[in-house]
Amino acid sequence: QSVLTQPTSVSAAPGQMVTISCSGSSSNIGSNFVSWYQQLPGTAPKLLINDNNRRLSGIPDRFSASKSGTSATLGISGLQTGDEADYFCGTQDSSLSSYVFGTGTKVTVL
């Protein structure tokens, strides 16, 4: 059972924007940096963003992220069919002395 909670699913039409929340606590998001991963169907996760809001090289600026307090948010604008995937947040948890992943959110393009 993950300590980081995400909505099970979000959806929007092509070209629209979706946001995915990641809710934690003071021992994880509240005191550490958040990363975001995209997992396309049948493939391994891929790192999109680290250090709360730093996009990896080659990641479109349609993907953005932020953190406030004990929550983090991933935004995907200009939604494309190729964005249909599961998205996971992740961060260190100082109390558990381990890295934890969020529960995951499935993005559907209507």
Partner 1 sequence: QVQLQESGPGLVKPSETLSLSCTVSGGSLRSYSWSWIRQPPGKGLELIGYIDDSGSTNYSPSLKSRVTMSVDTSKNQFSLKLASVTAADTAVYYCARRDYLFDSSGPPRSVWFDQWGQGTLLTVSS
Quick one: which of 9, 15, 56, 78 contacts partner 1 (CB under 8 A)? 56
What is the amino acid identity at position 44? A
The least distance separating partner 1 from the CB of residue 47, rounded to whole angstroms, comes to 5
- DSSP bridge partners of 42: none
- Provide the 3-class DSSP secondary structure of residue 38: strand
Using DSSP's 3-state secondary structure scheme, residue 14 falls into coil
Q: Which is nearer to partner 1, 13 or 97 (CB)?
A: 97
| C-alpha–C-alpha distance, residues 90 and 110, integer Å | 27
38 lines the binding site for partner 1 (CB under 8 A):
no
Q: In the complex, which residues of this chain contact partner 1 (CB under 8 A)?
A: 2, 31-33, 35, 37, 43-47, 50-51, 56, 88, 90-92, 94, 96-104
